[in-house]
Chains A and B, each alone.
Chain A
Amino acid sequence: MTRHQKIYWAGFCVVMALLIIAPLVLPEFWRRFLTEILIWGLLAMSSDILIGYTGMVSFGHSAFFGLGMYGAAAALLIVSPPNLWLAIIFGLAGAGTVALFVAYFSTRLRDIYFAITTLIFSQIFYVIIFTWTAMTGGENGLTFRRPALSFFGLFSTPFDTATLHWFVLAVVAASYLILRRIMQSPFGMVLQSIRENEPRTRAIGYPVERYKIVAVMLSGLFAGLAGVLYAIQNRFAAPDFVYFLVSGETVIFNVMGGIGTLLGPIVGAGFFLLLRELLGRLFGEQFPYLIPLGFIFIAMIIFLPQGLLGFARRWLNR
């Protein structure tokens, strides 16, 4: 182990330990809040694969997230008793299908065209979900019971806020490690070379389109996973979460936290949600928190384009 690796893993363990202990010391509200940050962080992290590593800004991540939610909802409503793993499988299948569809069409396009296409795709799914009332509950969405935390018949226990937090933490941490490994693999290196210089990557002989399709699929699957977790935490699925404002917030998390770091987007989500909570407490529920947050966001793009964790980007990717 190099010195860098020692410090990195030591830091990782400390943060993990703090996150594991957190539900034991935090009050109920903050326990839920922390879990939610992790879930939105996972969504933002999934979009970082595209924004930070491949150089494609997706404005359509709400579609993957939402389909993850509705997929989980389908499993939880159809199968009785509700099964956690089935919900995950259904959610991933839903998000994966949408991701394949979006990837096939949108990866032929670059830059803003990619961004606009992903946005339009997410709106297509939004309109379908919003108007297909018989299947999706339309505007009201779907509510369902939360599954129990089971492990293939070995044991089964209902979720409480603490076990849910640990479960989410385990999923998010595992996702992070997997994505980090992938981004350091030859595959991840090709993605990063697409970001740096797409024509040259193609000229060397890499099938750039195929790499991009896989990147969008990967990103969509993890976004869908975040959607499943959110559905399980909140016991509902609603079209609001497919709406493109969610995609926009995902991009904001990325920019605030620092793209191309995987961890940055989680920090960005935490920063955003904490500020929102703080503003709500200071000025009341009705306070239009997106106004000051919008100003901070704009100022960060202009003055701090690498985000909060940008300074550590090289170090984190080593």
Chain B
Amino acid sequence: MDAVAQFFQTFPYDQLLIQTVNGIVTGMILALVASGLTLIFGIMDVVNFAHGELFMLGAYVGVIVMVGTGSFWLALFIATLTVALIGAALQVVTLRPLIGRDPLNTILVTFGISLILQNYALWQFGPTSRKINEPITSHFILFYLEYPWYRILIAALSAVIIGGFWLFLKYSKFGVWIRATTQDRVMAQAMGIPVPLVYTGVFAIGAGMAAASGVLFAPLVGVNHTMGLDWVLKAFIVVVVGGMGNLGGSIAAAIFVSLLESYASIWVNPSQAVIVSFVVLILTLLFRPTGLFVPTPK
């Protein structure tokens, strides 16, 4: 009993709260990355290995625009748009020819794209990290920590983007097309929905969302050519845990996994905390392969 009492007395409650805030902040960015990934998978069975590189590319475009104009918001906007266009071009050139082939081919192709983009970034920008300054620098006091308002802003902005995207899916013409195509590609086509255009559009939207998260995240750690790798792995985990192709599930899973990692990092160093989410993934695949956050299929 003493040991239990001891545990609760020395339990770092303040850290727990700080890590909760941290977990939600990274969880929201992760949700933004993963919702594009899950949408792309849901609609065209494409596992986009290059998603992390689109995230990275967004951050780099952000850096360039920041250097040129000094405006963070302009950087966010232009990076999203540019990478969305790049995403559309990538889809048309490399994925469209693979429609109807084994989905595994899409992993291979997007892996090739990720190698190209990563090495291009290294070649173009070099190995040193670039910095994007946060648009607001004020802090508030969270226990003994000066917690930056910018982190809270990231979480809020991610929520706004995801919310906007949800409204778009729910009410816009293109949103209805996307959902119809996800459910039944052939029938969507027979209803006059231009399915190839929907595919390209979805890929562009997913790419744009990844780029936006890249710019939002960049002020926290800096921008380098390998930053996409961690994110794509985490996003894969989130997408599988949330149920492949299930948007709401992915968002819940993103926050869940990020919170777990944050809590784990109270006791172990952050690079080991990653293992927690790996374990969550494996347990999910073993016991609920359709995803944690979806109703049991009937």
CB-based nearest A residue for B279 = A124
How many angstroms between the C-alpha atoms of A294 and B53 in the bound complex?
14
User: Which residues in B have their C-beta under 8 angstroms from that of A218?
Assistant: none
A290-B115, A301-B98 given; A251·B289 CB < 8 A: no
Q: Is B123 an interface residue (CB 8 A)?
A: yes
Known: A57-B104, A288-B119, A288-B122. A120 touches B272 (CB 8 A): no
From 146 to 164 in chain B, residues with beta carbon under 8 angstroms from any chain A beta carbon are: none
Q: Interface with B: A67-75, A111-119, A145-153, A173-181, which one?
A: A111-119
Among B103, B115, B269, contact of A248 (Cβ-Cβ < 8 Å): B115
| A255: B residues at CB distance < 8 A | 108
Q: Which chain A residues in 91-124 approach chain B with CB under 8 Å?
A: 105, 108-109, 111-113, 115-117, 119-121, 123-124
Q: Are A298 and B233 in contact (CB under 8 A)?
A: no
Query: Is the CB of B133 closer than 8 A to any CB of chain A?
Result: no
* Interface flag for A304 (CB, 8 Å): no
Measured between beta carbons, the chain A residues less than 8 angstroms from B116 are: 290-291, 294-295, 298
CB–CB B275/A113 < 8 A: no
Bound together, the chains give a CA A305 to CA B105 distance in angstroms of 9
| Stretch of B10-18, B178-186, B280-288 that contacts chain A | B280-288
Question: Bound state CA distance, A180 and B107, in angstroms?
Answer: 28
Q: Does B60 belong to the interface (CB within 8 Å)? A: no
- A297 adjacent to B94 (CB under 8 Å): no
Instruction: Please state if B107 and A113 are interface contacts (CB–CB under 8 Å).
Output: no
Report yes or no: A112 in contact with B281, Cβ–Cβ below 8 A: no
Determine whether B271 belongs to the interface, using a CB cutoff of 8 Å to chain A. yes
B47 contacts A by Cβ under 8 Å: yes
CB distance from B40 to the nearest CB of A (A): 12
Q: What residues of chain B lie closer than 8 Å to A252, measured between beta carbons? A: 112
A123-B278, A131-B269, A291-B123 given; A298·B112 CB < 8 A: yes
Contact with B along A271-290 (1 / 0, CB 8 A): 00000000000000000111
Closest Cβ–Cβ distance, residue A46 to chain B (whole Å) = 18
Describe A's contact surface by its main secondary structure. Answer: helix
B118: nearest chain-A partner, CB-CB: A290
A170 adjacent to chain B (CB < 8 Å): no
CB-CB < 8 A to B285: which residues of A? 105, 108-109, 113, 117
Judge whether B237 is part of the interface by a CB distance below 8 angstroms: yes
The answer to whether the Cβ of B63 comes within 8 Å of any Cβ in the partner chain is no
B286 x A108 contact (CB < 8 A):
yes
* Residues of chain B lying within 8 A (CB to CB) of residue A121: 278, 282
A128 to B271: give the CA distance in the assembly, Å. Answer: 9
B254 within 8 A of A: no
Q: Is A26 an interface residue (CB 8 A)?
A: no
CB-contacts of B228-243 with A (<8 A): 233, 236-237, 240
List the A residue with the shortest CB-CB distance to B281.
A120
Residues of B within 8 A of A293 (CB): 115
Is there an interface contact between B240 and A294, defined as CB atoms closer than 8 Å?
Answer: no
**Interface: A65 (CB within 8 A):** no
CA distance A39 to B230 in the complex (A): 29
Q: Contacts A105-B285, A105-B286, A117-B285; is A294 near B122 (CB within 8 Å)? A: no
Bound: A120/B116 CA distance, A: 22
A131 touches B271 (CB 8 A): yes
B113 touches A127 (CB 8 A): no
A293–B114 alpha-carbon span in the complex (Å): 12
Report if A130 contacts B (CB, 8 A): yes
Which A residues are in CB contact (< 8 Å) with B281? 117, 120
Q: How far is the CA of A283 from the CA of B245 in the complex (A)?
A: 43
The 9 A-B pairs of least Cβ separation, nearest first, read: A294-B116, A288-B123, A288-B119, A298-B112, A290-B119, A294-B115, A297-B112, A294-B112, A290-B115
Given contacts A57-B107, A112-B103, A298-B94, 13 further A-B contacts (CB under 8 A): A105-B282, A109-B285, A119-B233, A119-B236, A127-B275, A130-B271, A131-B272, A252-B112, A255-B108, A290-B118, A294-B113, A297-B112, A298-B112
